[in-house]
């Protein structure tokens, strides 16, 4: 009997990848408009390299971008970048198509809901609050608080105990085969790979750990219903 469904956040509940790209492009355009003396392609390319090296949560992207471009520090350009980035983020931050309908249906079925995510806790909560989906969830677990990252078992076990369910009573839905699917399978959860976004072709070695693969998040309630009715027939 499936009593709880856990979701990954980025590119599973919320369209993050596309948003970040759009926001970074807007940041560079804004900096150039305020006088940054390089081409869009050069600045954007350097920014992407920087993010690859320092991570997306590094707090000084735009300062370091100027250093990489051998330009003198200019707070006006940095501010222009920050404004472009944030304005885009706030305007376009949205849930993946069908998410609300899916969550509502699962709640109506009496299933508990949780989020299991990596990343900066404040940034993750900001996404949850801005898209106004927090009321649907019984539990939100951000790995940083536990000192681990997915696929570490600790984060999945914490989520299960917070909801008071056993691994075999729960489903994990995520877009990353290694972190979400392999991780959840290690503790004994049933897994649904959401084949969506930029990771749709990544980590395919871990495909055997996915019990189900879906291309629409709206397919989840039917999977839960199927699993639960199968069990009743046994
Ligand atoms: Mg994800």
Q: Residue 165's beta-bridge partner residues? A: none
pLDDT at 105 over 90: yes
- pLDDT-derived band at 200 (thresholds 50, 70, 90) equals confident
How far apart are the CA of 132 and the centre of ligand 1, in A? 18
3-state secondary structure 43-57: HHHHHHHHHHHHCCC
Residue 234's CB is within 10 A of a number of other CB atoms, namely: 4
Q: What is the chain's mean pLDDT, rounded?
A: 94
Instruction: Tell if the pTM clears 0.95, that is, is over it.
Output: no
- Tell me which H or E stretch contains 109: none
- Encode pLDDT of 25-79 as tens digits: 999 999 999 999 999 999 999 999 999 999 887 889 999 999 999 999 999 999 9
Ion ligand 1: residue ranges with CB closer than 5 A: 8, 10-11, 175
- At residue 174, the 3 state secondary structure works out as strand
How far apart are the CA of 39 and the centre of ligand 1, in A? 32
- Encode pLDDT of 127-150 as tens digits: 999 999 999 999 999 988 788 899
**SS3 breakdown of the chain: % helix, strand, coil, rounded to 5?**
60, 15, 30
Structural domains in the chain plus CATH codes: 4-15+95-233 (3.40.50.1000), 17-92 (1.10.150.520)
In this prediction, residue 192 carries a pLDDT of 98
pLDDT (mean) for 113-127:
93
Structure tokens at 92: 């376009």
In this prediction, residue 22 carries a pLDDT of 92
Distance CA 103, CA 142 (A): 19
How far apart are the CA of 32 and the centre of ligand 1, in A? 31
How far apart are the CA of 9 and the centre of ligand 1, in A? 6
pLDDT at 110 over 90: yes
- Tell me which H or E stretch contains 6: strand 4-7
In this prediction, residue 231 carries a pLDDT of 75
In this prediction, residue 234 carries a pLDDT of 65
How far apart are the CA of 6 and the centre of ligand 1, in A? 12
How far apart are the CA of 56 and the centre of ligand 1, in A? 14
How far apart are the CA of 142 and the centre of ligand 1, in A? 13
The DSSP call for residue 99 is: H
In this prediction, residue 215 carries a pLDDT of 96
- Encode pLDDT of 155-196 as tens digits: 999 999 999 999 999 999 999 999 999 999 999 999 999 999
- At residue 115, the 3 state secondary structure works out as strand
How far apart are the CA of 75 and the centre of ligand 1, in A? 33
How far apart are the CA of 90 and the centre of ligand 1, in A? 19
How far apart are the CA of 65 and the centre of ligand 1, in A? 26
In this prediction, residue 147 carries a pLDDT of 84
């Amino acid at each position: 009997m499936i009593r709880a469904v856990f979701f990954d956040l980025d590119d599973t509940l919320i369209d993050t990848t596309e948003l970040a790209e759009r926001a970074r492009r807007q940041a560079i355009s804004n900096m150039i408009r305020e006088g940054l003396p390089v081409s869009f392609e050069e600045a954007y390319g350097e920014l992407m390299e920087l993010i690859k090296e320092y991570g997306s949560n590094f707090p000084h992207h735009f300062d370091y971008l100027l250093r990489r471009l051998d330009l003198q520090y200019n707070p006006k350009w940095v501010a222009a970048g920050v404004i472009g980035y944030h304005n885009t983020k706030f305007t376009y931050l949205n849930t993946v198509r069908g998410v609300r309908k899916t969550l509502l249906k699962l709640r109506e079925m009496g299933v508990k809901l949780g989020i299991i995510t990596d990343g900066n806790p404040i940034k993750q909560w900001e996404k949850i609050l801005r898209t106004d989906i927090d009321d649907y969830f019984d539990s939100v677990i951000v790995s940083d608080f536990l000192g681990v990252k997915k696929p570490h078992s600790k984060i999945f076990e914490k989520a299960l105990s917070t909801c008071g369910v056993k691994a075999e009573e729960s489903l994990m839905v995520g877009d990353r085969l290694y972190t979400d699917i392999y991780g959840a399978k290690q503790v004994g959860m049933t897994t649904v790979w959401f084949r969506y976004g930029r990771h749709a072709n990544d980590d395919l070695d871990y495909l055997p750990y996915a019990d189900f693969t879906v291309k629409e998040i709206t397919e989840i309630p039917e999977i839960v219903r199927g699993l639960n009715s199968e069990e009743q027939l046994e």
